[in-house]
Structures are given as structure tokens and as C-alpha cells.
Amino acid sequence: MGRFASTVEFYSRYREPYSPRFFLTVAERLELRGTEKLLDAGCGPGPLAIGFAPFVKDVTALDPEATMIAAARSAAAEAGVNISFVHQKLERFSAASTFDVITIGRALHWLDREAALRVLRQIVGASGHILICGASNTDTPEFPWVKPYDVARRAFAPEPDEARYRIDGRKWFSGSEFEQADTIPVAERRAVTVTELVGRALSKSNTSPAVLGARREEFEAQIKAVLEPFARDGVVREEIVSRATVFKRRAASAAS
């Protein structure tokens, strides 16, 4: 069983969603014309591949978890978009031609940096873009439940500081032929239920059902208890910022 096997049903339904406006904004900023080839590396249940599909010509999505590929394939069929799926790690991926856009969502920290960079050198077109994407809650006094929720969830994680998940893309690409070219944030406010936030907590790899084991019932009860003072009829408001950090080849690398 893979690392994320027990998170799939929760990841697909409850993880912080990318807003539709995010995909439109990124497409406009990158001046996508609908002729591009896109590769989504570490696609998970497919939110990036599916979201960008209407703005490009061809989409290939790969993931090392068979259960994630199955979930992404089902979601793509439901969305009515055509995506080619590959059960593979980025570090072992090869292609006959290059891609105009590479998207990497919540997977950068799982990659073997040197091996992944070797592949990216080969598959990113001379004028291609690498998008490091993520979506997260705004933690401000306007949304007071976010911090206690996060603290309660992390208390059950094997590594509560979650340092490995906070990778700076600029540092990750430092010393390579790729450099940061832009950052594209898009904020969206929405209502979310306590039940959905419990599911979101279970979607995280370090507080997944497999990790929690016999503590799952205690974990769910604690998350609900923390959220209760902030909820009205089981609902809280949240602001999710979807963000794409754009990397391109350095000028000298693109010209060589």
C-alpha cells in the first residue's frame, strides 16, 4: 500500500480546492493559447490537470500512487476532460518531446531533487514554464479558527513542526538552470463545514487514517471540539489562497 492510499477519498473531496478563477488567471498571465502541452507531475486526484485542461491542447498526468491515478481518472471523466495518465514517478519519467507547462502541486517535498531536476532539464521546453502550485488557508484574526485547527491537527502528527512540507521553491531550484519568474496568487472566500474540515485533516499524509490508526476517533473528536466555538450551524468561513510560483529557464540556459 502506498503512502497516500488511505488519504485518497479524503484528498479528492476535502483538500483545500483551487478556485476556477485561479486557473483562468494563470492561463491569462502565461498567455496560454490552447496549443500547449502540459505535464502534471505528482497529480494526486488530478485537480491541477483537470483545472488547466481547458486552457491547453494536451495534458499528461503522472503519479506514483495507483490509487491516486484511479481517482484522477474518475474525476477527469466526470469533468469531461481528456487526460493521459501515467503511473510513474517524475524522477523516472521520459518523453519523446518537451512540454510547454509543467505543474507540480503538493508534491515538491516528496521529489528526489537531483533526479527530478535531471528529468526537468530534458522535458521542459526552451520557453516552457514550471508552476509550483498550492492552496492554503489565510490565517488572520478574521478567520480565528485556522490556527487552533492547525495546532490540534499537528498534535497528532509524527513530526508536528511539519518542516519537510515547507519547501521554498526558490531554494529548491537554486543552482539549477531554472529561476523564479513570477508569483500568481488568487484568493477566494467560501463556507466550509466542520465535517469537511475533519475530512481535510484526514487527507494530510501525516494525519491520514493509516498514520492515526486506533487514534482516529480521538483525532476526529478533537478537531470537532476545536472548531465548535467558531462554527455557526456547523459552518465556518474561510479564505483560500491558490498560488502558482512560476519558474523558467535562465536566459543563458534557454539560449544554449
In tens, the pLDDT along 18-73 reads 999 999 999 999 999 999 999 999 999 999 999 999 999 999 999 999 999 999 99
CA angle centred on 49, ends 99 and 154, rounded to 5°: 120
Read off the pLDDT of each residue in 93-114 and give the average, rounded to a whole number: 93
Cell 490540534, residue located:
152
Helix (H) or strand (E) holding 191: strand 178-193
The CA dihedral of 70, 18, 173, 90, to the nearest 10 degrees, is 10
- pLDDT digits 0-9 by tens, 138-190: 999 999 999 999 999 999 998 865 555 567 888 999 999 999 999 999 999 99
Please give the Cα distance from 104 to 244 (Å, whole number).
Answer: 9
Closest among 33, 34, 35, 53 to 43, alpha carbons compared: 53
Q: Which domains does the chain have, with CATH numbers?
A: 8-255 (3.40.50.150)
Alpha helices, DSSP H, located in the chain? 8-14, 20-29, 47-52, 66-79, 113-123, 146-154, 169-173, 194-202, 209-212, 216-227, 251-255
Confidence band, pLDDT 50/70/90 cuts, at residue 9: confident
Say whether 146 sits in a helix, a strand or coil: helix
- pTM tops 0.85, yes or no: yes
